[in-house]
Amino acid sequence: MSRKKRQTVTLLVLCLVLIAAGVGYYVLIRHQAAQEKAEKAKESAKELFQLSSDDINKVEYQGEKSSLTFDKDGTTWKLSSDKNYPVNQDRITDMIDETTGVAATKTVTTSCDDLTQYNLDKPDLTVTVTDTSGQKTTIYVGMESVSGGGRYAYCGGDEKKVYLISTSLYSSFDYSLGDLMTVPDIPSVQADEIRYLKVEKQKGKNFEAEYDEKDSPYKDIYGWSIKQPYTQPVAGDKDGLQNLFGSYTNIGFNAGVSYKKDTALEKKYGLDQPQYTVTFRTAKKNVTLYIGKENNDKSSYYVKMKGKDGIYLMEASSVSKMITINPLDCVYQRLYAGEQEKLNQVEFSYQGKKYTFDVSKTKKKSETEYTYTVTSDGKKVDADKFTTAYGVISYLAPGGNIDPKASVKGNEPVAQFTFHEDKKDTKMIVYPYDGQNFYRVSVNGVMQFTVDKNAVDKVLKQFVSLK
């Protein structure tokens, strides 16, 4: 590199270093300025109450959602009009702390002669706290500042001094009585703990699934039986059910309506004849929820829990997840759950002819796989082609639910399979359905689903052509 080029590179590097230093200095100055501004704002904030939360024994407030009074009994806050009301102690404590800690972030005016411009003639919130000496202190909270940054307020009877305070005070009192109720916990469950689920609907089809590893007709699959909406139990799919059960974990009530038995309210909110009754069980827990009407803004449903007298609200989104079920998503996705390793014989009838395929197997040395030998009428057939055809029929998935109102194109069987395995026999019969896209399939006498007609026609031809 020439001397001139070295000088140019050196100059360029020095320029970049200076630029970086300048940017760093600028960022540092801005950061310090922001910190100083925040500290000055904090220093200029004026505490409006000289009170300690521990000294308060009564709080009254009038807000947009309710007008309530609470008294302190020892260390417990109670609703003045109903001493047995299950008050949410944490929320009341937060409300008191927010009130006694309120500070003015800005003095708007010290000579106000028109409260209407701040909505303080008819405050959005009025809070009065009484301390142990009987002294009352009131704060009036008006509209939110157009420019943001808080709400207008004044204290006591000094209407001339209007301040700007944080919106957090208003938010802390933005509760109805039901929001301040301590609601019962719904027993917490994990998806893999659930062993039974039933969703009963006033309108529409019910859903019911049960796990029984000993007596289920499908204990050799997953042990799950889907009992409703089907007329005969069908095998349940573990993964599909686990996905559904996820809707029943971490559910809870978001507010209360009544903590005691109230027949009139139950009728008013549709709990005397629930829209939905949801029951789910684990080995140790049994939960039943009665779900009535939606509230006015459709954000929640009125709900009762078996064993509890009260009426509570549950978010509509949670309810929707629990009751919106596509049964087909929960059905085992194989109509015949065959295992070729256990297969001994396949009997097959199609178009007036009967076929028998005998299967034998030998394990490959040092391997877990088998070599299959397939014969029909004493003659060997192509084992690979048989395995391919058998794989299709044994993984045949439900295509849809049979519509009881559908116009069925005949009831004579299209084809019939009998699979003989080591410890069980499975009979699969294919029936006509719509004549175009689907067949009906019966497996061991259970006929609930349709299957793709083209897929079945192809596999039937594969079995016929085996040589």
Whether residues 92 and 195 fall in one domain:
no
Whether residues 429 and 318 fall in one domain:
no
pLDDT (tens digit per residue) in 14-25: 545 455 555 454
- Please give the residue range of the domain that contains residue 172: 47-178
Whether residues 94 and 224 fall in one domain:
no
Alpha-carbon span 443 to 393, nearest angstrom: 12
Q: Report whether 278 contacts 286 (CB < 8 A).
A: no
In this structure, what DSSP letter does residue 232 have?
S
Six-digit token string for 112? 């106000």
Whether residues 67 and 105 fall in one domain:
yes
Whether residues 354 and 439 fall in one domain:
yes
Instruction: Indicate the Cα dihedral angle 257, 259, 260, 262, nearest 10°.
Output: 10
Whether residues 435 and 412 fall in one domain:
yes
User: Exposure of 246 by Cβ count < 10 A (0-12 exposed, 13-18 middle, 19+ buried)?
Assistant: middle
SS3 8: helix
Residue 405 has a pLDDT of 84
Alpha-carbon span 454 to 461, nearest angstrom: 11
Q: Which residue has the higher pLDDT, 376 or 50?
A: 376
Whether residues 217 and 324 fall in one domain:
yes
Whether residues 212 and 271 fall in one domain:
yes
| Identity at 384, one-letter amino acid code | D
Give the number of domains in the chain: 3
Of 330, 353, 387, which marks where a domain is finished? 330
CATH of the domain at 450: 3.30.1490
Residue 366 has a pLDDT of 63
Going by their DSSP bridges, the two strands 425-432 and 415-421 should be labelled as: antiparallel
Alpha helices in 370-442 (DSSP H): 383-394
Is residue 39 domain-resident? no
Of 178, 209, 240, which marks where a domain is finished? 178
- What does the angle CA 22 – CA 8 – CA 5 come to, to the nearest 5 degrees? 155
Whether residues 450 and 351 fall in one domain:
yes
Residue 30 has a pLDDT of 55
Whether residues 88 and 209 fall in one domain:
no
Is residue 185 domain-resident? no
- Residue 77's H or E segment, with its range, is strand 76-79
Is residue 7 domain-resident? no
Of 330, 348, 377, which marks where a domain is finished? 330
Is residue 5 domain-resident? no
pLDDT (tens digit per residue) in 147-170: 888 999 999 888 899 999 999 999
CATH of the domain at 197: 2.60.40
Is residue 265 domain-resident? yes
Whether residues 205 and 323 fall in one domain:
yes
pLDDT (tens digit per residue) in 314-371: 999 999 999 999 999 999 999 998 889 999 999 999 999 999 999 998 887 666 778 8
Whether residues 344 and 325 fall in one domain:
no
Is residue 148 domain-resident? yes
- Residue bearing tokens 């949801």: 278
Alpha-carbon span 278 to 286, nearest angstrom: 11
Is residue 170 domain-resident? yes
For the full predicted model, state whether its pTM sits above 0.95: no
Q: Report whether 72 contacts 55 (CB < 8 A).
A: no
Instruction: Indicate the Cα dihedral angle 327, 333, 339, 344, nearest 10°.
Output: 80
Answer whether residue 386 shows pLDDT above 90.
Answer: yes
Is residue 80 domain-resident? yes
* Cα distances (angstroms) measured from residue 128 to each of 32, 123, 139, 165, 466: 40, 13, 7, 16, 90
Residue 24 has a pLDDT of 53
